[in-house]
A = this chain, B = another copy of it.
Amino acid sequence: MKKIEAVIKPFRLEEVKEALAEVGVEGMTVTEVKGFGRQRGHTEIYRGSEYTVDFVPKIKVEMVLSDERCEPAVAAIVKAARTGKIGDGKVFVSAVETAVRIRTGDREEAAL
């Protein structure tokens, strides 16, 4: 099994979710994160002081899936999340050894 972690622009979440559904991904976990990268942040002004915030709001989408579903899912994410502008984000894939569904105790692919 593989775990895909995608860091995307927040307003693409809906599209990514739909694209994933189309390739059969039925579960995922989403986290609000802050990204730091090429995309520059913004400047804030409060009376005397002005400062730069380098971190940009991003959404991290995580899902675990069977090996064969991995590449289609990656492709779907890349397509749905792309705007073509700096800061579109990244997709990372790593190996997962075990998965358990808490409710049933099902293991591995059956748990997803």
Contact of B111 with A90 in the complex, beta carbons under 8 Å:
yes
- Chain B residues lying within 8 Å of A91, measured Cβ to Cβ, are 98-100, 102
Task: Give chain A's interface residue range (CB within 8 Å of chain B).
Answer: 35 or more
- Chain B residues lying within 8 Å of A3, measured Cβ to Cβ, are 92, 94
Interface residues of A in 14-31 (CB under 8 A from B): 17, 26-31
A112 to nearest B CB, angstroms? 8
Contact of A31 with B33 in the complex, beta carbons under 8 Å:
yes
- B-contacting residues of A (Cβ < 8 Å)? 2-3, 6-8, 17, 26-38, 54-55, 58, 60, 64, 74, 77-78, 81-103, 105, 111-112
Given the known inter-chain contacts A28-B36, A60-B29, please indicate yes or no for A96 contacting B97, CB distance below 8 A.
no
Contact of A78 with B102 in the complex, beta carbons under 8 Å:
yes
**Bound-state Cα–Cα, A58 to B28, Å:** 11
Contact of B35 with A30 in the complex, beta carbons under 8 Å:
yes
